Amino acid sequence: MNPQLGSNIPPCERRPVAWYAPGVLWQAGRELVQSADFQRNLDRRETFSPVLTPVDLSARPASEADPFWFDFLSDTGDGGDASFTVAQALLAPTLMLDTAAGAAVTLPEGELLVLGGDLAYPGASALEYQYRFIEMLSGAQDPASRFVQPGGGHGRVFAPRKYIVAIPQNHDWFDSASTFCRYFVNYDQGAVIGARTPQRQTYFATRLPRGFWILGLDFALVGDLDRQQYEAFTALLAPGTERGIQPGDDVLLVYPEPYWTRPLGDGAAAGYPRRYQRLEALIEAHGARIRLRLAGDLHLYSRETLAADPLTGRSSDLVICGSGGAFLHPTHSIDIQAPKVVDRRPEMQAASDDLGRRVRVGVACDGDAAAAEAGFDRTRRAGYDHAADFPPPRRTRLLALANLWALLTVRFSRPPWALGLGPTLAELWNSNLGFALCLGVLYGFNAYVNSGVFSASYWLDGFAPMAELPFGEARWLWLKAMVFSPFAAFVNIFMLAGCVRTAWEGPAPKPLRVLGGLGHGMAHAYLIFVLYWWACHLIVPAFPALAGWPGPLRDTLLALATWIAVGLAGVTFGGLLFGAYLALACAGFKQLPNNAFGSLACPHHKGFLRFKLTPTGLEVFMLGIDVVPRRRSTREPLPPGWRVVDHFRIDK
């Protein structure tokens, strides 16, 4: 992609990422492999200073008359319309909203912005950051808000009034977090909307007024803290540390991914809990209270609450808020709706006491449920109640059905007649239709490798020209042809493996994923046969003039015509079949949430969190908009429809 940059490119012309475009799939896969390989050999997190200096905002008043406001935003930097609409609301000096009770409420802009990662898609290049994230925030902000007028003077001076702290997610790590560090770690010069960016690691600790802390954790691409990061956070818990976390403080943990949507334990090796699980245990042992676990990564809003934690007697919430601008994820999927529990049982196989202390939050499996009834201390285990979803699960279940035609859709940045031929073809290729075109090529190539035996030359092996075979007999011979030659067998196995890989996302048990993928692959194989049989019976009789041509030339031309016909039909029918599989898996069986909704690129149901801190605690507002309009200019006013989607309290 070669984006056009600048304030003259309106949000509506900044197309959302087409995740099934061949170029995007290649880029994302290549960068993920490269970054993971680099991370394995050199963990960049270990190159930062081992001393974690908290961003100290505890001197702010945070009174009833003058509360301390801050925001959380995650998973932005995708389509221009959605990213700009959210940025406008986020940076508005005051935001008027509708509430569930029908009343209107006005909330001021936050003084602190907490970014939860995945700030530009599909990869974290400098161009993508500028095109999808920086320019959208800059266009939404009033330039005058970065400056103040000095007393008695005529000039303006730089006076940042907002702080930003941030953690990277997996897409931010696709360039080893280099671009992320350029904006949020290496410098504090107002590169992002003129705000202060004082953190010096890809993780942070922020001390808020009234004994509240925000800890932002970085998993990089390995799903856990590195040793140095773990020790930096534990240093804040050391006895006698005046500027560290104190007993009785309330802690908000910001994670790069909602690990609690996975099975309890998060796949940790027996005897070796993950470091973030041990860090949570140390926080609680220190006498501090974990009141909120917050993450983006999934592009939706969901909250689960524990009204009274048996350990502290206080509430605790699990919140996913990845609604900052990226394509929508479904709220009806199994991993979102499955009941969650917190489990503080020690690791019995640990080799030392420090490895034995852990806090696990996640989806309980049958074995965990049986252990829960075994008579251990019940203060160590409790279940969360599902409290809110945005959008409602029934809405995302209906949206999943749009996969039926999603791979045949194209979202042009401008009308084709305004783009010109070259850009139009480029946007066609860089869309879901590009994936359908690749399916057509695969269909035609598969027909080629399987059909070579359907000629008089192979009559001793039971084959005959396809145009002479009835449908029933041809079907079984086609199955034989799929494995008749090693090359044909390899191509068909490759196609089945690709379908299994598509199904591997889950969250179904692995055997069911394999069966689902194999069924999907066999459906494509059968459709290729149907299209080839149809093409042979349609094309061969349609060209009687070729009957007098030399045999080899005639056969070659007819075979070529049938392969091309299968390929062209495969674009449409193969795209429809692939989309039907995604629709059935997601809408019917609540599977493949990322694969199914990545194809839809739904820009709607966006929002962010706004926090109000007073002496009595935290008041949390989920601010959302149901329909994102087309934004033709950065000078357009904020669209109506913003409302309070969810509202809850974290009492002190």
Q: What is the distance between the alpha carbons of residues 583 and 597, in angstroms, rounded to a whole number?
A: 9
Same domain, 449 and 378: no
Asked if residue 87 belongs to a domain, the reply is yes
Contacts of range 407-410, beta carbons closer than 8 Å, 24 or more positions apart: 407/20, 407/432, 407/433, 407/435, 407/436, 407/439, 407/575, 407/576, 407/578, 407/579, 407/599, 408/432, 408/433, 408/436, 408/572, 408/575, 408/576, 408/579, 409/433
Asked if residue 397 belongs to a domain, the reply is no
Q: Please give the mean pLDDT across all residues of the chain.
A: 89
- Assess whether pLDDT exceeds 70 at residue 251: yes
Residue 99 confidence (pLDDT): 77
Residue 404 confidence (pLDDT): 94
| pLDDT bucket at 151, cuts 50 / 70 / 90 | very low
Number of separate domains in the chain: 2
Residue-wise pLDDT tens digits, 89-102: 999 999 999 877 77
Asked if residue 1 belongs to a domain, the reply is no
Mean pLDDT for 448-457 is 84
- Assess whether pLDDT exceeds 80 at residue 437: yes
Asked if residue 6 belongs to a domain, the reply is no
- Assess whether pLDDT exceeds 50 at residue 375: no
| pLDDT bucket at 428, cuts 50 / 70 / 90 | confident
Residue 300 confidence (pLDDT): 97
| pLDDT bucket at 263, cuts 50 / 70 / 90 | very high
Mean pLDDT for 234-241 is 88
Q: How many CA atoms lie within 13 A of 222 on its CB side?
A: 19
Among 564, 582, 598, which residue terminates a domain? 598
- Assess whether pLDDT exceeds 70 at residue 372: no
Same domain, 616 and 557: no
Asked if residue 46 belongs to a domain, the reply is yes
Asked if residue 333 belongs to a domain, the reply is yes
DSSP assignment letter at 616: T
Bridge partners, residue 318, by sequence? 293, 304
Residue-wise pLDDT tens digits, 163-222: 999 999 999 998 889 999 999 999 888 889 989 999 999 999 999 999 999 999 999 989
Prior bond of 507 cis (ω within 30°): yes
Q: Angle of helix 486-503 relative to helix 432-451, nearest 10 degrees?
A: 150
Asked if residue 3 belongs to a domain, the reply is no
Same domain, 464 and 491: yes
Q: List the structure tokens of 174.
A: 């696709």
Mean pLDDT for 20-47 is 80
Residue-wise pLDDT tens digits, 64-93: 999 999 999 999 989 999 999 999 999 999
Residue-wise pLDDT tens digits, 7-25: 889 999 898 998 998 888 8
Q: What is the distance between the alpha carbons of residues 158 and 138, in angstroms, rounded to a whole number?
A: 15
Q: What is the distance between the alpha carbons of residues 131 and 566, in angstroms, rounded to a whole number?
A: 39
CATH of residue 345's domain is 3.60.21.10
Residue 370 confidence (pLDDT): 47
Q: How many CA atoms lie within 13 A of 519 on its CB side?
A: 12
Same domain, 582 and 614: no
Residue 297 confidence (pLDDT): 95
Among 570, 598, 626, which residue terminates a domain? 598
Domain holding 517, by residue range, is 402-598
The residues near 428 (Cβ < 8 Å, ≥ 6 apart) are 410, 434
Q: What is the distance between the alpha carbons of residues 305 and 385, in angstroms, rounded to a whole number?
A: 5
Range in 32-46, 120-134, 218-232 with the lowest mean pLDDT: 32-46
Percentage of the residues of the chain whose pLDDT score is greater than 90 = 63
Residue 153 confidence (pLDDT): 45
Same domain, 102 and 161: yes
Asked if residue 5 belongs to a domain, the reply is no
Among 582, 598, 614, which residue terminates a domain? 598
Same domain, 318 and 415: no
The answer to whether the CB of 527 falls within 8 A of the CB of 577 is: yes
The answer to whether the CB of 440 falls within 8 A of the CB of 509 is: no
Residue 145 confidence (pLDDT): 62
| pLDDT bucket at 150, cuts 50 / 70 / 90 | very low
Q: Is 56 helix (H, G, I), strand (E, B) or coil?
A: strand
Residue-wise pLDDT tens digits, 508-517: 888 999 999 9
Same domain, 383 and 432: no
First and final C-alpha spacing in the chain: 49
Residue 371 confidence (pLDDT): 52
Prior bond of 391 cis (ω within 30°): yes
Q: Which of the two residues, 153 and 81, has the higher pLDDT score?
A: 81
Same domain, 425 and 524: yes
Same domain, 139 and 266: yes
Residue 36 confidence (pLDDT): 72
Same domain, 369 and 434: no
| pLDDT bucket at 223, cuts 50 / 70 / 90 | very high
Same domain, 232 and 169: yes
- Assess whether pLDDT exceeds 90 at residue 465: no
Among 309, 315, 319, residue whose Cα is nearest residue 388: 319
- For residue 40, which phi and psi values (nearest 5 degrees)? -65, -35
Q: What is the distance between the alpha carbons of residues 589 and 334, in angstroms, rounded to a whole number?
A: 9
Same domain, 316 and 423: no
Percentage of the residues of the chain whose pLDDT score is greater than 70 = 92
